[in-house]
Amino acid sequence: MKRHFFKTGIILLLAILICSSCNQRPKVKEKPVINSKGQTGTVEVEVFDAVKLKDQLVEIIKTAPKPNELVDFINKGGYSYIADLTLSPENAEKYMTLAEQSLATGVYKFDLYYAKVYNRYDIVDQIFDVQQKLVTKIGLQSDIASMKKYNDRIKQNKENTDSLNIIISAVMNELSQSYLTGEHSGVYALSYVSANIEGLYILTQIASMAKDNSELLKLIGQQKERVKTNYMLLEIMAADAAVAPIFEKMKPIMDSFSITQEFSAKQLAEVAPLIEKLRTDIVK
């Protein structure tokens, strides 16, 4: 009898250990591979699980710098609005995958605020329409409801700058809350990352063109936390094959901002092309 209980105990212990090991293991899938001899086989690769990591993603975004802070500085600094630096609304139709649409949503979100702050409501109107189409394709129900709620009011107040300013601010506040309360944490995290990358791209491009960019260099040097946040989010999501290349291109940008000394014109000349390349890959 004692021997029977002992065997039973061993079996139960092994079962617990096996289950515990399974729970700790990353979610995987089989990926076909071909070796140097042309033989076909499979390997297990990790799969990004946004639902499982939702709390982690949300917590990072909740305390992170907001993309619109960059626009406010550019505007207050007296720098001109440059429409050519923003993403054309015509590009929206070519984004087919969930990752592409999520990234494009973030870029357009930044461009929407950029145009709004400079009272370019002709461009705001175009981007708003594009955003509605993208969030519908992605299936972001809370965003769809917010945008529909304000759509008619925007159309009716096209000639009233003050009213448009209030309306657009309201809808953007609601969209920002989606980052923290939405069901699709992976989508929102990618959108947040791309909005920041768009902001850094526009900021570094303006700094590269400005005759006196001393104030802009100071601002860029203050973006270490923003860059670090984007790096952390991408690192968490890098198991997704669509995110991995973006994460790899973020690494040298992160390195450029890791230097403790004051941000210099030389650093700008080095990092601006890296940010431009990353932004180009996101919106291509």
Tell me the per-residue pLDDT of 59-91, one tens digit each, with 9 for 90 and over. Answer: 888 888 888 899 999 998 889 999 999 999 999
In the Cβ-directed half-sphere of 215, how many Cα atoms lie within 13 Å?
12
| CA gap 66, 54 in Å, rounded | 19
Average pLDDT over residues 141-164: 74
Residue 177: pLDDT band (50, 70, 90) is low
| CA gap 247, 235 in Å, rounded | 6
The pLDDT assigned to 58 comes to 77
Residue 273: pLDDT band (50, 70, 90) is very high
Give the whole-number percent of the chain exceeding pLDDT 70. Answer: 75
Mean pLDDT value across the chain: 79
Helix (H, G, I), strand (E, B) or coil at 194: helix
Tens digit of each residue's pLDDT (9 = 90 or more) over 195-214 = 999 999 999 999 999 988 99
Residue 223: pLDDT band (50, 70, 90) is very high
Average pLDDT over residues 123-141: 84
In the Cβ-directed half-sphere of 267, how many Cα atoms lie within 13 Å?
20
81 CB contacts (<8 Å, ≥6 apart)?
Answer: 114, 115, 118, 120
Tens digit of each residue's pLDDT (9 = 90 or more) over 15-66 = 433 343 343 334 444 444 343 344 444 333 334 455 566 777 778 888 888 8
Radius of gyration of the chain (CA): 23
Question: Which of 163-194 are b and which e, b meaning 16 or more Cβ less than 10 Å from the residue's Cβ?
Answer: ebbebbeebbebbbebbeebebbbbbbbbbbb
Residue 76's Cα: distance from chain center in Å? 25
Higher-scoring residue by pLDDT: 192, 27: 192
Q: Are 282 and 100 in contact (CB under 8 A)?
A: no
Least confident among 34-43, 56-65, 177-186, 224-233: 34-43
Take residue 7 and report the two structure tokens written for it.
Answer: 């065997």
The pLDDT assigned to 20 comes to 37
Closest to 165 in 3D by CA, of 126, 121, 129:
121
